[in-house]
Amino acid sequence: MENIIFITVIVVCLIFILACVIKQRPDLIVNFALRACLGTLAIYLLNMVLKSRGFTISVGINAATVATNGLLGLPGFLLLFGLAVYYFFTA
Protein backbone atom coordinates (compact mmCIF):
# COMPACT_ATOMS: atom_id res chain seq x y z
CA MET A 1 0.00 0.00 0.00
CA GLU A 2 2.83 2.38 0.84
CA ASN A 3 4.45 1.70 -2.54
CA ILE A 4 1.28 2.69 -4.38
CA ILE A 5 1.07 5.96 -2.45
CA PHE A 6 4.76 6.67 -3.10
CA ILE A 7 4.39 5.98 -6.83
CA THR A 8 1.25 8.13 -6.99
CA VAL A 9 3.04 11.06 -5.34
CA ILE A 10 5.96 10.74 -7.79
CA VAL A 11 3.64 10.61 -10.81
CA VAL A 12 1.67 13.65 -9.63
CA CYS A 13 4.90 15.59 -9.07
CA LEU A 14 6.21 14.66 -12.51
CA ILE A 15 2.94 15.72 -14.14
CA PHE A 16 3.09 19.04 -12.29
CA ILE A 17 6.71 19.63 -13.35
CA LEU A 18 5.89 18.73 -16.96
CA ALA A 19 2.91 21.10 -16.96
CA CYS A 20 5.09 23.94 -15.67
CA VAL A 21 7.76 23.26 -18.32
CA ILE A 22 5.16 23.17 -21.09
CA LYS A 23 3.66 26.44 -19.86
CA GLN A 24 7.02 28.24 -19.61
CA ARG A 25 9.00 26.74 -22.51
CA PRO A 26 6.95 24.72 -25.02
CA ASP A 27 9.89 24.81 -27.44
CA LEU A 28 11.77 22.36 -25.20
CA ILE A 29 9.10 19.72 -25.73
CA VAL A 30 9.09 20.26 -29.50
CA ASN A 31 12.90 20.13 -29.60
CA PHE A 32 12.92 16.87 -27.61
CA ALA A 33 10.27 15.31 -29.84
CA LEU A 34 12.08 16.25 -33.05
CA ARG A 35 15.43 14.95 -31.82
CA ALA A 36 13.81 11.73 -30.58
CA CYS A 37 12.03 11.10 -33.89
CA LEU A 38 15.01 11.91 -36.08
CA GLY A 39 17.39 9.92 -33.88
CA THR A 40 15.12 6.89 -33.92
CA LEU A 41 14.82 7.13 -37.71
CA ALA A 42 18.61 7.38 -37.97
CA ILE A 43 19.05 4.29 -35.77
CA TYR A 44 16.60 2.36 -37.92
CA LEU A 45 18.29 3.40 -41.17
CA LEU A 46 21.83 2.73 -39.90
CA ASN A 47 20.75 -0.67 -38.59
CA MET A 48 19.37 -1.50 -42.05
CA VAL A 49 22.54 -0.34 -43.81
CA LEU A 50 24.79 -2.28 -41.44
CA LYS A 51 22.65 -5.40 -41.83
CA SER A 52 22.72 -5.15 -45.64
CA ARG A 53 26.53 -4.91 -45.50
CA GLY A 54 26.76 -8.05 -43.36
CA PHE A 55 27.54 -6.49 -39.97
CA THR A 56 25.76 -7.85 -36.92
CA ILE A 57 26.12 -4.64 -34.91
CA SER A 58 22.73 -3.09 -34.20
CA VAL A 59 21.05 -0.85 -31.66
CA GLY A 60 17.57 -1.77 -30.49
CA ILE A 61 14.79 0.76 -30.63
CA ASN A 62 13.11 1.08 -27.25
CA ALA A 63 12.14 3.75 -24.73
CA ALA A 64 15.70 4.12 -23.43
CA THR A 65 17.21 4.72 -26.87
CA VAL A 66 14.44 7.15 -27.84
CA ALA A 67 14.97 9.07 -24.59
CA THR A 68 18.75 9.11 -25.12
CA ASN A 69 18.30 10.51 -28.62
CA GLY A 70 15.73 13.03 -27.43
CA LEU A 71 17.83 14.32 -24.57
CA LEU A 72 21.30 14.24 -26.11
CA GLY A 73 20.66 14.45 -29.86
CA LEU A 74 23.62 13.52 -32.09
CA PRO A 75 25.97 12.78 -29.16
CA GLY A 76 23.35 10.35 -27.83
CA PHE A 77 23.12 8.67 -31.22
CA LEU A 78 26.90 8.30 -31.35
CA LEU A 79 26.95 7.07 -27.75
CA LEU A 80 24.45 4.31 -28.52
CA PHE A 81 26.38 3.04 -31.52
CA GLY A 82 29.67 3.45 -29.69
CA LEU A 83 28.39 1.22 -26.92
CA ALA A 84 27.11 -1.29 -29.48
CA VAL A 85 30.54 -1.44 -31.15
CA TYR A 86 32.29 -1.71 -27.78
CA TYR A 87 30.12 -4.62 -26.64
CA PHE A 88 30.43 -6.26 -30.05
CA PHE A 89 34.23 -6.39 -29.84
CA THR A 90 34.50 -7.20 -26.12
CA ALA A 91 31.92 -10.00 -26.03
* pTM, 2 dp: 0.76
Kindly write down the DSSP assignment for every residue of 50-69, as one continuous string.
HHHTT-------SHHHHHHH
Residue 8 DSSP symbol: H
pLDDT one-digit tens code per residue, 40-83? 999 999 999 999 999 999 999 999 999 999 999 999 999 999 99
Residue 71 DSSP symbol: H
The answer to whether the CB of 72 falls within 8 A of the CB of 79 is: yes
Alpha carbon 91 to chain centroid, angstroms: 24
Q: Say what the pLDDT of residue 34 is.
A: 95
Q: Say what the pLDDT of residue 29 is.
A: 83
pLDDT one-digit tens code per residue, 25-34? 888 888 999 9
Q: Say what the pLDDT of residue 20 is.
A: 85
The answer to whether the CB of 21 falls within 8 A of the CB of 14 is: no
